[in-house]
Structure 1
Amino acid sequence: MILSDIRRYLQQRQQVCLSDIALHFGASQDATRGMLETWIRKGKVRRLVSQVACGSSCGKCAPAQMEWYEWIGDRPQ
């Protein structure tokens, strides 16, 4: 997983949860979050944290499914 791979993945999907990104690249969520932080510092990605769960109140939603990232940089050509 390299930064350009993450860029392309986010550009194609616009908004993706952390667990989906990590699963797609076969990486840990911590490693994925670290790579995303690079794009955040460059102003290309925004971290979105959902305050609302799936709609139930069971509290079983994984935190990584509630942590979303959105590509806000240049769109693909």
Structure 2
Amino acid sequence: MILELQTYLAQKQKVSLAELETHFRSHPDALRGMLNKLVHKGRVRPLASEGKKCGGCTHCNTTAFEVYEWVGNQ
């Protein structure tokens, strides 16, 4: 599945964890584990939320603010 994740990120360039969760029908923690491996290999980098988080309510899906960017070759 990590190869599928890598391919998806390479195609999309920037993807939120929420989008990955929906696309792969996988738990965010499982995806974070794979993303961390790709970050460690220098293929992906996490992006800052750029102030897009709300004021702390519990209505937002926080995985929508967790964004990853493809930076490596496949």
- Tell me if both proteins adopt one fold, taking TM over 0.5 as the criterion: yes
Match of 1:10 in 2: 9
Match of 2:44 in 1: 45
Counterparts of 1:71 and 1:40, CA distance in 2: 9
How many matched pairs? 73
Counterparts of 1:66 and 1:49, CA distance in 2: 9
Length-normalised TM-score, structure 1:
0.82
For the 8 Å contact 1:53–1:61, the answer to whether it is kept is no
Task: State the superposition RMSD in angstroms.
Answer: 1.9
Length-normalised TM-score, structure 2:
0.85
Which residue type is aligned with residue 30 of structure 1? D
Structure 1 residues 37 and 58, CA gap change in structure 2 (3 angstroms): closer
Is 1:25 the counterpart of 2:24? The answer is yes
Counterparts of 2:10 and 2:3, CA distance in 1: 10
Q: Which 5+ residue runs of structure 1 have no aligned equivalent? A: none
Q: Which 5+ residue runs of structure 2 have no aligned equivalent? A: none
